[in-house]
């Protein structure tokens, strides 16, 4: 039986705004044994002793010098507003992890690899793509990324550069409240018909499909993938409570 993970104090190295509602939080923390797709639990303690904790997917690849979290602001949240409004370099918080063993990808797993993320659901998928790049993997990979507007796309510049440098990687942007900027992108919600077209244009049959986002998004995408012949055992899902 595995012993429970213990809490440890970690120091924030940097807080940087990435989108209007997402900040990058870099932690001075090493995570031996981390797998791409896992998450950390963070705990904050108020001066009166009140504690609040939340789980956040890890955006950095295993072995990175700093652990990066990309934290979306939830206006009614107990933890995320602190990272947006208060946290600064040098602050200490508590963390434990990495946690999770189902929603993970290793370079040895190969591909073709289909990744579908809604909003901040792209974060663990970004960790997978960063590990794929670091390992020099040439496994075909397609990222379908849904956001309300282009300004809300997480790591857009990095993904553009990744796609330009890697012919085996393709990035499809889906915006629900703004017109598309590239001919191949879409301005709609992801459904079975859109996924059918995306898979046909990609020309690959996914060995694994990872889907992450809010529950309605994940359910719609998973149903759409099954409708298009992706077997249920090949689809891995992760859900969160964000909008």
Q: Which domains does the chain have, with CATH numbers?
A: 8-99 (2.40.30.10), 107-240 (3.40.50.80)
Q: What is the pLDDT of residue 180?
A: 84
Residue 30 has pLDDT above 90, yes or no: no
Phi/psi at 189 (nearest 5 deg)? -90, 150
- Of the ranges 123-132, 181-190, 205-214, 224-233, which one carries the lowest mean pLDDT score? 181-190
10, 89 in Cβ contact below 8 A?
no
**Predicted pLDDT at 3:** 43
Q: Does position 187 have pLDDT exceeding 70, yes or no?
A: yes
**Burial (CB count <10 Å: 0-12, 13-18, 19+), residue 240:** buried
Confidence of residue 113 (pLDDT cuts 50, 70, 90): very high
pLDDT in tens, 34-78: 999 999 999 999 889 999 999 999 999 999 999 999 999 998 889
Which of 129, 151, 150 lies closest to 139, judged by CA? 129
User: Which pLDDT band, with edges at 50, 70 and 90, does 19 fall under?
Assistant: very high
- Give the closest residue to 195 by CA, choosing from 126, 112, 116: 116
Q: Indicate whether 194 pLDDT > 60.
A: yes
CA distance 101 to 98: 9
pLDDT in tens, 207-223: 999 999 999 999 999 99
What CA dihedral angle connects 14, 18, 21 and 24, to 10 degrees? -30
pLDDT for residue 199 is more than 50: yes
Query: What pLDDT was estimated at residue 243?
Result: 43
Helix (H, G, I), strand (E, B) or coil at 215: helix
- So what's the pLDDT on residue 183? 80
Q: What are phi and psi of 162, to 5 degrees?
A: -60, -45
How many other CB atoms sit within 10 Å of the CB of residue 122?
Answer: 28
Q: What is the mean pLDDT of residues 6-28?
A: 96
Question: What does DSSP say about strands 39-45 and 169-175: parallel, antiparallel, or unpaired?
Answer: unpaired
pLDDT band at 125 (very low <50, low <70, confident <90, very high): very high
DSSP character string of 115-157: EEEEGGGGHHHHHHHHHHHHTT----EEEEEEESSGGG-TTHH
The C-alpha angle 25, 93, 155, rounded to 5 degrees, equals: 10
CA separation (Å) from 44 to 9, 14, 61, 168?
Answer: 10, 17, 25, 41
Residues 164-176: pLDDT tens digits?
999 999 999 999 9
Q: Give the pLDDT score at 4.
A: 54
Please identify which residue in the block is written with the tokens 């919600």: 189
56 by DSSP, 3-state: which? Answer: strand
**For residue 241, what pLDDT is reported?**
61
Measure the CA dihedral 17/22/26/27, to 10°: 140
| Confidence bin at 118 (pLDDT 50/70/90) | very high
């Amino acid at each position: 039986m595995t012993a429970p993970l213990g809490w440890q104090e970690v120091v924030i190295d940097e807080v940087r705004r990435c989108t209007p509602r997402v900040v990058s939080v870099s932690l001075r923390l090493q995570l031996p044994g981390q797998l791409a797709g896992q998450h950390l639990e963070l705990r904050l303690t108020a001066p009166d002793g009140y504690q609040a904790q939340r789980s956040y997917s890890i955006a950095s690849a295993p072995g990175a010098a700093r652990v990066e979290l990309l934290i979306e602001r939830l206006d009614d949240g107990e933890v995320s507003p602190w990272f947006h409004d208060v946290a600064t370099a040098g602050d200490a918080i508590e963390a434990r992890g990495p946690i999770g063993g189902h929603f993970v990808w290793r370079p040895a797993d190969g591909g073709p690899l289909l990744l579908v993320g809604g909003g901040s659901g792209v974060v663990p998928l970004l960790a997978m793509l960063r590990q794929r790049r670091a390992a020099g993997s040439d496994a075909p990979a397609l990222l379908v990324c849904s956001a309300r507007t282009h300004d809300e796309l997480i790591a857009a510049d990095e993904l553009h550069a990744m796609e330009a440098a890697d012919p085996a990687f393709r990035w499809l942007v889906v915006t629900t409240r703004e017109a598309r900027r590239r001919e191949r992108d879409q301005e709609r919600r992801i459904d079975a018909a859109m996924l059918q077209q995306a898979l046909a244009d990609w020309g690959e049959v996914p060995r694994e499909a990872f889907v992450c986002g809010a529950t309605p998004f994940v359910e719609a995408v998973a149903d759409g993938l099954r409708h298009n012949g992706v077997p249920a055992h090949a689809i891995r899902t992760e859900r969160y409570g964000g909008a």
